Amino acid sequence: MTEYESMAARQRKWMFYLLAILVLGAGFTPYLTIFLGLLLGSAVSLYNLWLLQKKIVDFTGAVAEKQPVKGIGTMSRFAAAALVVIIALRFDEYFNVIAVLIGLMTSYLVITLDFAVSHFKKK
């Protein structure tokens, strides 16, 4: 397993742990709309993370083998974020919109923290 693959697997693992905690929060606390919003945002954030990881592997592989390259999926990620916000605005009695926004940002938090931790572990 390359360094990139192990990093990608580690990030997905942390996202799944976070999703499990959010499911517990939605099930056992009175803040249902907030946790459902966080859950919805984090689920789409996990999809965005997976898509980014996959697209970068495809892109760099195509560049290294001198094959024609495709995009890196920026518009797909924007569209996923827009879709989740439309869902949250449409069903605002179930989802807190600010919580959805915070949930969407969790993968970036995981990427940053994972990079910082692995960088300081190497030193």
Partner 1 sequence: MGALAAAIAVGLAALGAGVGNGLIVSRTVEGIARQPELKGSLQTTMFIGVGLVEAMPIIAVVIALMVM
Question: Between 24 and 71, whose beta carbon lies closer to partner 1?
Answer: 71
Question: Between 24 and 79, whose beta carbon lies closer to partner 1?
Answer: 79
Residue 97 binds to partner 1 (criterion: CB under 8 A): yes
Q: Minimum Å distance from CB 30 to partner 1?
A: 25
Question: Between 27 and 65, whose beta carbon lies closer to partner 1?
Answer: 65
How far apart CA 116 and CA 123 sit, in angstroms, is 11
Query: Which residues fall within 8 angstroms of residue 45, CB to CB, at 6 or more apart?
Result: 15, 103, 104, 105, 106, 107, 108
Contact 75, 51 (CB under 8 A): no
Instruction: Choose one: 12-20, 22-30, 31-39, 85-93; the region binding partner 1 (CB under 8 A).
Output: 85-93
- Please tell me the total number of residues recorded for the chain in this structure: 123
Residue 107 binds to partner 1 (criterion: CB under 8 A): yes
Query: Which residues fall within 8 angstroms of residue 107, CB to CB, at 6 or more apart?
Result: 11, 15, 42, 45, 46, 48, 49
List residues near partner 1 by CB under 8 A: 2-4, 7-8, 48-49, 52-53, 56-57, 59-60, 63-64, 72, 74, 77-78, 81-82, 85-86, 89, 97, 100-101, 104-105, 107-108, 111-112, 115
